[in-house]
Structure 1
Amino acid sequence: MLAFFGNHVLEQGDLCVYSGSIIEVLGRVGVGEQAVRSTLTRMVNRGLLQRKREGRRMYFGLTPQATAVLHDGRNRVWRQGAVNDDWDGSWTLLGFSLPDSWKRQRHDLRSQLTWSGFGALYSGLWIAPGHVDVSSIVAELGLAAHVKIFHAQADQATDIELMIRDTWDLESIAARYVTFDKRWTAHLGADTGDDPIGTRLLLVSEWLGTIRTDPRLPARHLPPAWPARAAQETFRKVADQTEEPAARMARELLDTARLA
């Protein structure tokens, strides 16, 4: 759902989309109507979407919170990329201690840290390459009193490559890139057929899922021929190939309105 709104609404200002259009597009990638409706309701309840009724039709648009989330995702996908060639040698460390009963808060914090590139160095000490500003995440979760953040460099006695292998599951991260690359290489140069909008939605969704748990570790400390580079090249080629056909189809297919 976030990929759909990122593809077709994010850059359109206060645009909102008729629920029936959303159901039709997500149906093209195998998502059922009931799943779409329940997801839309959950996202409204979480403050990610807002509704507008016109006659008997319900339209959905982005809230400022969702817009910020999607801009962050867009930055990760199109600007930062999956390969970290320009690491400056610094690390961000975050230590936390939460009451045992705070299971939800612990889960939310770990999820946000993972997306921000952190891995668990120890149970309550997480680390990420580079200077990562997570103060807003901590504040939004209401955990500022339970978290300490540091920016530092490793001592020469620290084996960085060993630390990386101990902290992150490199085999799993690499396998996701290899799987993505094999699946989407077949689309290069191929006709997108009658469904470029569905193809692009799947492409972006699967790429976001692939990079979600990749902390963008420094390339010089990763195994040779790290597969993120090839997978990213494939993603961008297919994205370029489907961009205009998907946009043209969206203009024909989506029933939209303005939130204002």
Structure 2
Amino acid sequence: MPNIIDERDGVAAQVQESLPGPGLRSQSVMFTFLGDHVYGHPLCVFSGSFIEVFARVGVSEEATRSTLSRMVARGLLRRQRHGRRVYFGLTLRTVEILKDGRRRIWHTGVVNDVPGDRWTLIGFSLPESWQRQRHELRSRLIWAGFGPLQNGLWISPAEVDVEAVVRDLDLGPDANVKVFSAEPREPTDMERVIRDAYDLDGLGGRYRDFLDRWDRADPMPEAPDHLARSLVMLTEWLRIIRTDPRLPVRYLPRGWPAGRAQRVCHTLHERFRDEARAIAARLMDTVPDTAGPAGQDGDSRHTLA
């Protein structure tokens, strides 16, 4: 299961930057850049190229170098020397993260209009002394689309491989984890269940903020070019949809903004794409990845972080 440290629970120390997007982190923008311009190509990118690209969205050279170093330390990038220069390539862990982002944007989408209900329930009881495991488990459940139904009982609107979610947590039998597939029955009020388990106001607000910012004739006019606009827009979008559990649309409030926001995102990506890729190609000094991770499928049409 992908482990997005700073996206899920904020535990990773980050260099804070005054990026154009609200609350964006430099590591999040890095994932977007890698997904849209590096993933699918067996290349390593020169550190100076990252500095030039990130300067376009307000990230300083110092912060860019710090982000690269932190990502190497966390196994998210690896260094490759070529002469006196240092280049950076993807790791298997990062490839999985980028694959997950592409799936969420271009394949599953944000609108769940599948007929019928098939939910996953997980119940667990962890010893009081297991604070770290409890925090990590809850973070992973949220990442996998679960919401808390009541104390120790969480629910997801999809068939979830919970074994993959908890596999490396070393919970053991004392965790008392139980998993079920379920369908709602009368008199269950699923709209009430969803309101109780998920922060619909917060999620809907994030989609509406995205629309306010990007659904206009000239979005982000202060940006120097479409590469900067694309990086900020896609980073904002990934941050939203990674918190969206894809609840069945029939249970959501009327006028739910996710579908409209998705159309805006896709339209802008097409609008920005050619210029963004041309600029990135001009700025990127690359060398062949001599020991790159397996699993890059080479489909670079839609490869977002």
TM-score (normalizing by structure 2): 0.79
Q: Which moved more, 1:37-46 or 1:183-192?
A: 183-192
Q: Which moved more, 1:54-63 or 1:140-149?
A: 140-149
Alpha-carbon deviation of 1:52? 0.5
Aligned mates of 2:170, 2:256 — CA distance in 1: 37
Structure 2 counterpart of 1:164: 194
Aligned mates of 2:126, 2:60 — CA distance in 1: 39
Structure 2 counterpart of 1:244: 274
Structure 2 counterpart of 1:224: 254
Question: 1:208 aligned to 230, 238, 248, which one?
Answer: 238
Structure 2 counterpart of 1:17: 45
Question: 1:142 aligned to 158, 170, 188, which one?
Answer: 170
Alpha-carbon deviation of 1:144? 5.9
Structure 2 counterpart of 1:185: 215
- Match runs of 1:1-260 below 5 Å: 1-12=30-41, 14-143=42-171, 145=173, 146=175, 147-187=177-217, 194-260=224-290
Alpha-carbon deviation of 1:205? 0.3
Identical amino acids, percent of aligned pairs: 49
From the superposition, tell whether residues 31 and 111 of structure 1 become closer, same or farther in structure 2 (CA, over 3 Å). farther
Q: Is the 8 A contact 1:200 1:243 kept in 2?
A: yes
From the superposition, tell whether residues 154 and 188 of structure 1 become closer, same or farther in structure 2 (CA, over 3 Å). farther
Alpha-carbon deviation of 1:190? 9.3
5+ residue gaps, structure 1: none
Query: How big is each residue's C-alpha offset from its partner over 1:221-244, in whole Å with a ceiling of 9 and x where there is no partner?
Result: 111110001111101100111111
From the superposition, tell whether residues 87 and 32 of structure 1 become closer, same or farther in structure 2 (CA, over 3 Å). farther
Describe the SS at the equivalent of 2:129.
coil
5+ residue gaps, structure 2: 1-29, 291-305
Query: How big is each residue's C-alpha offset from its partner over 1:117-145, in whole Å with a ceiling of 9 and x where there is no partner?
Result: 11111232211102122322211333364
From the superposition, tell whether residues 16 and 192 of structure 1 become closer, same or farther in structure 2 (CA, over 3 Å). farther
* RMSD, matched Cα: 2.0
Query: How big is each residue's C-alpha offset from its partner over 1:66-93, in whole Å with a ceiling of 9 and x where there is no partner?
Result: 1011101110111111111115301011
Which structure's relative contact order is higher, taking Cα pairs within 8 Å and 6+ residues apart?
Answer: 2
Aligned mates of 1:166, 1:206 — CA distance in 2: 26
Describe the SS at the equivalent of 1:257.
strand
Query: How big is each residue's C-alpha offset from its partner over 1:86-123, in whole Å with a ceiling of 9 and x where there is no partner?
Result: 15301011222333333333332222221221111123
Aligned mates of 1:182, 1:192 — CA distance in 2: 16
Alpha-carbon deviation of 1:215? 0.8
* AA aligned opposite 1:6: G
Please state which structure has a larger fraction of its residues in strand. 1
* AA aligned opposite 2:36: N
